[in-house]
């Protein structure tokens, strides 16, 4: 939305100019990011008590209420800010439970090119956000609650039916998986009996919290969030000329397609650690190339897309592809895997809050960096990315193929380590008993 308004703002009416002046845009962005940051901690106990299904539904409802208020042309800056806070709460809650992907570039391009300088230029992009938000909330009415959460809550039969629904049928393999889930929960409760929130302070869990915090800081250090927030400005800075908004549209397509490709075909083949290592190295290389191209062939204001600009744009696309097969999706997956189920909501909440906090930091830094140090901004992100290669090599453990019960042994927990062999044995005995009862 910001890129559209920046292009037309001087042609808009005085009230609209006041609402979407530069300070107002910054404040609007700040409202969303900080309310999302604080809501991460609210949703943790809510999810633990009521489950993920209703947490997602509530997040969708809150987001939609904020979106509706924003779309209404109240002519009040205060009302718009309040609506941004409400939407930010919904966004923050949702990102604790599920990762978010934003693809608004084509909407921005469409309204910029085909609508005049009216309030519809900002109402349509904001209003269209209600579509995926509403679908997400309504979809929760058609799905089942988390199997593990139901089992932990003592709702065993509902948990079994949830797993059968997810797997698409009831057979011996599904029963075996369910028995292993139950056995894992019982063993986890046994070895952590009597522990409270102090479990978070155990050395192995402190390490996990440090990992998710630094991992989410690393996501921002890659520079891709900055590219996403300021795509049209970034593309102008590398020589895209007056086609920056159109090129930003394809930038969104590249991000979505590469992320889907990774999740469908690569995530269980490459592994978490390998994708983080490879992604950071490639992104650093592409950022270095962009820095060299823009330093040696600086873009000229008013000039159309040049061959050097096209090469720099291609590098930005490749950088986005590398991000979306590594540091885009993997940190969300990784931080949901490494915690025991007793403190998983807390771990994910802390990681997500870190993401929103540093998302805000880098969204404030990036435009100043582009304006003041130019091509050196890309060199800075190159250095950050290559530093992340070292970080991933030293601190990230491979979790591919590991069950939640096996994570304790992987992270060397002595206080809460689960006897995986015992879990498998209990699961096999439960499955055999269930088969005998059927006979």
SS3 per-residue string spanning 49-65: HHCHHHHHHHHHHHHHH
- How big, in percent rounded to 5, are the helix, strand and coil portions of the chain? 80, 0, 20
pLDDT at residue number 66: 82
**66-95 mean pLDDT:** 77
pLDDT at residue number 17: 47
Q: How confident is the model at residue 19 (pLDDT cuts 50, 70, 90)?
A: very low
pLDDT at residue number 11: 40
Q: What is the mean pLDDT of the chain?
A: 76
Per-residue pLDDT tens digits for 48-57: 777 778 888 8
Instruction: Return the exposure string of 47-69: e unless at least 16 CB atoms fall within 10 Å of the residue's CB, then b.
Output: bbebbbbebbbbbbebbbbbbeb
pLDDT at residue number 16: 47
Q: If you write DSSP's letter for every residue of 346-372 in order, what string do you get?
A: HHHHHHHHHHHHHHHHHHHHHHHHHHH
The whole-angstrom separation of Cα 246 and Cα 251 is: 9
pLDDT at residue number 68: 83
**119-139 mean pLDDT:** 74
Picking from 111, 96, 102, 109, the residue whose alpha carbon sits closest to that of residue 133 is 102
Max Cα–Cα distance, the chain, nearest Å = 80
The whole-angstrom separation of Cα 420 and Cα 269 is: 24
**268-277 mean pLDDT:** 88
Residue 352 reports pLDDT greater than 60 = yes
Picking from 374, 385, 366, the residue whose alpha carbon sits closest to that of residue 294 is 374
Q: What are phi and psi of 354, to 5 degrees?
A: -60, -40
pLDDT at residue number 239: 65
Instruction: List CB contacts of 187: < 8 A, sequence separation 6 or more.
Output: 405, 418, 419, 422, 423, 426
**Residue 236 or 56, more confident:** 56
Q: How confident is the model at residue 6 (pLDDT cuts 50, 70, 90)?
A: very low
In the chain, how many H helices and how many E strands?
Answer: 23, 0
- H runs (alpha helix) in 238-343: 244-261, 267-270, 272-296, 307-323, 330-337
Per-residue pLDDT tens digits for 219-231: 999 988 877 777 7
When mean pLDDT is compared across 7-11, 31-35, 213-217, the lowest value belongs to: 7-11
Q: How confident is the model at residue 35 (pLDDT cuts 50, 70, 90)?
A: confident
pLDDT at residue number 219: 93
What's 397's DSSP letter? P
pLDDT at residue number 425: 63
CA 70 to chain centre: 23
Residue 421 reports pLDDT greater than 70 = no
The whole-angstrom separation of Cα 320 and Cα 279 is: 10
Q: How confident is the model at residue 10 (pLDDT cuts 50, 70, 90)?
A: very low
Per-residue pLDDT tens digits for 163-196: 888 888 888 888 888 888 888 777 777 766 655 6
**27-55 mean pLDDT:** 73
Contact criterion met (CB below 8 Å) for 293 and 60: no
Contact criterion met (CB below 8 Å) for 231 and 3: yes
The CA–CA distances, whole Å, from 4 to 14, 195, 244, 248, 400 equal: 17, 53, 12, 12, 42
pLDDT at residue number 221: 94
The whole-angstrom separation of Cα 399 and Cα 332 is: 13
Q: How confident is the model at residue 241 (pLDDT cuts 50, 70, 90)?
A: low
CB atoms within 10 A of CB 82: 16
**Can you say whether the dihedral through the CA atoms of 111, 112, 116, 121 is positive or negative?**
positive
Per-residue pLDDT tens digits for 306-337: 788 788 888 888 998 999 899 988 998 898 88
pLDDT at residue number 34: 72
**Residue 114 or 246, more confident:** 246
The whole-angstrom separation of Cα 258 and Cα 228 is: 15
pLDDT at residue number 228: 74
């Amino acid at each position: 939305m910001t890129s559209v308004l920046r292009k037309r703002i001087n042609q808009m009416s005085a009230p609209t100019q006041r609402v979407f002046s530069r300070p107002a845009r910054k404040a609007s962005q700040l409202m969303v990011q900080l309310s999302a940051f604080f809501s991460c901690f609210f949703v943790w106990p809510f999810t633990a008590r009521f489950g993920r299904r209703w947490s997602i539904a509530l997040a969708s409802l809150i987001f939609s209420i904020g979106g509706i208020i924003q779309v209404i042309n109240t002519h009040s800056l205060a009302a718009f800010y309040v609506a941004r806070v409400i939407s930010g709460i919904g966004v923050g809650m949702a990102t604790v439970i599920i990762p978010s992907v934003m693809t608004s570039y084509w909407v921005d391009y469409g309204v910029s090119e085909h609508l005049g300088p009216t309030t519809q230029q900002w109402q349509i992009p904001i209003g269209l956000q209600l579509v995926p938000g509403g679908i997400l909330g309504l979809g929760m009415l058609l799905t089942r609650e988390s199997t593990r959460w139901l089992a932990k809550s003592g709702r065993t039969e509902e948990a079994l039916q949830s797993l059968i629904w997810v797997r698409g049928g009831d057979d011996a393999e599904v029963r075996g998986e369910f028995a292993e889930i139950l056995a894992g929960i019982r063993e986890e409760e046994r070895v952590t009996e009597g522990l409270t929130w102090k479990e978070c302070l155990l050395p192995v869990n402190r390490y996990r919290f440090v990992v998710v915090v630094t991992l989410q800081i690393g996501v921002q250090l890659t520079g891709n969030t900055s590219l996403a927030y300021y795509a049209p400005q970034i593309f102008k800075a590398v020589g895209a000329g007056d086609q920056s908004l159109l090129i930003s549209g394809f930038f969104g397509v590249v991000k979505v397609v590469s992320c889907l490709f990774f999740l469908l075909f690569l995530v269980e083949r490459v592994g978490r650690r390998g994708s983080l290592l490879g992604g950071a190295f490639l992104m650093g290389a592409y950022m270095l190339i962009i820095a060299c191209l823009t330093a040696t062939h600086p873009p000229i204001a008013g000039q159309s897309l040049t061959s050097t600009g096209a090469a720099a744009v291609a590098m930005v696309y490749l950088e986005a592809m590398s991000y979306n097969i590594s540091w885009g999706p993997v940190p969300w997956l990784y931080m949901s895997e490494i915690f025991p189920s007793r403190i998983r909501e807390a771990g994910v909440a802390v990681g997500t809050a870190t993401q929103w906090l540093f998302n805000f930091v880098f969204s404030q830094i990036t435009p100043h960096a582009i304006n003041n140090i130019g091509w050196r901004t890309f060199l800075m992100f190159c250095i950050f990315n290559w530093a992340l290669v070292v970080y991933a090599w030293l601190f990230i453990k491979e979790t591919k193929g590991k069950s939640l019960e096996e994570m304790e042994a992987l992270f060397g927990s002595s206080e809460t380590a689960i006897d995986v062999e015992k879990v498998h044995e209990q699961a096999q005995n439960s499955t055999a008993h269930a088969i005998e009862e059927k006979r």
